[in-house]
A and B are shown apart, each in its own frame.
Chain A
Amino acid sequence: MDDGLQDVPQARIELRGISKHFGEGSTRVDALVDIELTVGAGEIIGLLGPSGSGKSTLLNVIGCVSEPDAGWMRLDGELVYDTRWLRADRRRLRLTKIGFIFQTHNLLPFLNATENVAEVMELAGLSRHQARMSANALLDYLEVGHRRQAFPGEMSGGEAQRVAIARALANNPRIILADEPTAPLDSARAHIVMDLLSRIAKDHQAAVLVVTHDEAIFQRFDRLVSLRDGRLVAT
C-alpha cells in the first residue's frame, strides 16, 4: 500500500491530516479526509481515483485555490495552512511557486504562444522584453519555438499543450499540478507530454502531481496515489 506519506528529502508538497468538506448536516460531503501526502523535489506522482473521489478538491487545495478545514500544508518549505491560520499571500504562491496544466490547454485565445507564456512572467514583475525573450527560450526548450507567433486556435492539440506546459514553467515553479494533461491527446503525444513532465521534474527539481485516468502512462510515474471517497487508499 502507498498512503502517499513518505520521508522525502527536499519535500515540495507536504500535507498532514488535510480535510475538507462541503455543506452541513444532511447535505455534508467530506471531499477530503485526513490526507497525508508528501511529494519531493524531482518526483512525478500520478493521482488516480474515480470521478467525485476528491481529486479536483485536492488539486484546488494544493493549488491554493481552495482552503482546507483541518490539518496543515506546506509548499516548498512555506507553511500555507495550519488549522486556524491561512497564509494571506496565496496569490503570490500561485504565481511564483506553482505551475498549472489543464486538460484543455486554457491558453488565452487572443494572445499568441509567446505572449501566453510571457504574460505570466510579466505578472511576476519581468519587463515585457525580458519576458518575451525568456518565453521564447522556454518554447524552444519544449520544441515548439517554431510556433511562437501562432494563436491557440491555429495550433494542434499537442502544440497547444506544450505551450501550456511552457506557461506552467514560466516562473520556474517548484510545484507543477497537471489535471489530466494527456486526456485530449493520442497515445504517442501523451507519451511526449509525459516525457516533458519527467524531464521538467528532473531538470527543475520540481514536484509534479498529475491527475490521470490514462492507464497507458501509469508506468511513467515514480509513484501512484489513489483517492476514493476523499481518502488516500492502496494503489
Chain B
Amino acid sequence: MQRQLGMFMVILITVSTVIIALLIHTLTMDKLRSIATLKLVGASDRTIIGLIVQEALMIGVTGFWLGVAFTAAMASHFPRRVLILPRDVGLLFGVVLVVCLLASVLAVRAAVKVEPSQARAG
C-alpha cells in the first residue's frame, strides 16, 4: 500500500512538473515583447530570471496551499483516509519549491535568448 502511494506521488510530481513548466513557458512566451522592452531599458538577465522564478514559485506555493486546503476540506467525505503528518506536508512543500525551480528552467532559457532590439520590432 505504502509502495503504491509512493509510486502514485512520484507520477503526480512528474506530471505536475511538466504542467507547471509548460504553464510558465507559455506565460513567458506571451511576455517576450515586455521582456525585450525591459532589457532595452537596462534590465539585466539576472533581473529577468528573478521575475520568472518568482512567478513560478508564486504559482507553486499558491497551488500547494490550495491543495492542502482542498485536501483538508474533502478528507472527511472519503471512507478510507491516508494519514498526512505535518512532516509530510513540510517535505511536500520543499518538493513543490524544487519542482517550480526546475519547471522555470525552460522559460528562463527562452527569456535569456531575447534580444533588446526585439522591443522595437513591429
> Are A106 and B47 in contact, CB atoms less than 8 angstroms apart?
no
Does B16 sit within 8 A of A, measured CB to CB? no
User: Known contacts A95-B41, A120-B41, A123-B42; can you find 16 more A-B pairs with CB under 8 A?
Assistant: A63-B40, A65-B40, A65-B115, A65-B116, A65-B120, A94-B116, A100-B41, A103-B122, A106-B33, A106-B37, A108-B34, A110-B34, A119-B38, A120-B42, A123-B43, A167-B41
Contacts of B114 in A (CB 8 A): none
Contact surface of A with B, Cβ cutoff 8 Å: 56, 59-60, 63, 65-66, 91-92, 94-96, 100, 102-103, 106, 108-110, 119-120, 123-124, 167, 179
Cα A92 to Cα B41 in complex, Å, equals 9
Does B117 sit within 8 A of A, measured CB to CB? yes
Contacts of A94 in B (CB 8 A): 40-42, 116
> Are B117 and A91 in contact, CB atoms less than 8 angstroms apart?
no
Cα A108 to Cα B40 in complex, Å, equals 13
Contacts of B44 in A (CB 8 A): 91
> Are B116 and A96 in contact, CB atoms less than 8 angstroms apart?
no
> Are A59 and B42 in contact, CB atoms less than 8 angstroms apart?
no
9 nearest interchain CB pairs? A95-B42, A94-B42, A65-B117, A106-B37, A65-B116, A108-B34, A120-B41, A123-B42, A123-B43
Contacts of A110 in B (CB 8 A): 34
Of all chain B residues, the one with the shortest Cβ separation from A105 is B37
Does B49 sit within 8 A of A, measured CB to CB? no
Cα A94 to Cα B41 in complex, Å, equals 6
Q: How many residues of B contact A (CB 8 A)?
A: 16
Of all chain A residues, the one with the shortest Cβ separation from B43 is A123
Cα A187 to Cα B9 in complex, Å, equals 63
> A108-B34, A108-B37, A109-B34 known; A102 and B42 CB under 8 Å?
no
Output the residue of B34, B40, B44 with the most chain A CB within 10 A.
B40
Cα A135 to Cα B4 in complex, Å, equals 57
Contact surface of B with A, Cβ cutoff 8 Å: 33-34, 37-38, 40-44, 47, 115-117, 119-120, 122
**A108 → chain B, closest Cβ, in Å?**
5
Contacts of B122 in A (CB 8 A): 103
Output the residue of B34, B38, B119, B120 with the most chain A CB within 10 A.
B120
26 A-B contacts (beta carbon < 8 Å): A56-B120, A60-B120, A63-B40, A65-B115, A65-B116, A65-B117, A65-B120, A66-B117, A91-B42, A94-B40, A94-B41, A94-B42, A103-B122, A108-B37, A109-B34, A110-B34, A119-B38, A120-B41, A120-B42, A123-B38, A123-B41, A123-B42, A123-B47, A124-B42, A167-B41, A179-B120
Cα A172 to Cα B15 in complex, Å, equals 48
> A95-B42, A109-B34, A124-B42 known; A102 and B120 CB under 8 Å?
yes
Cα A124 to Cα B44 in complex, Å, equals 11
> A65-B117, A102-B120, A106-B119 known; A92 and B37 CB under 8 Å?
no
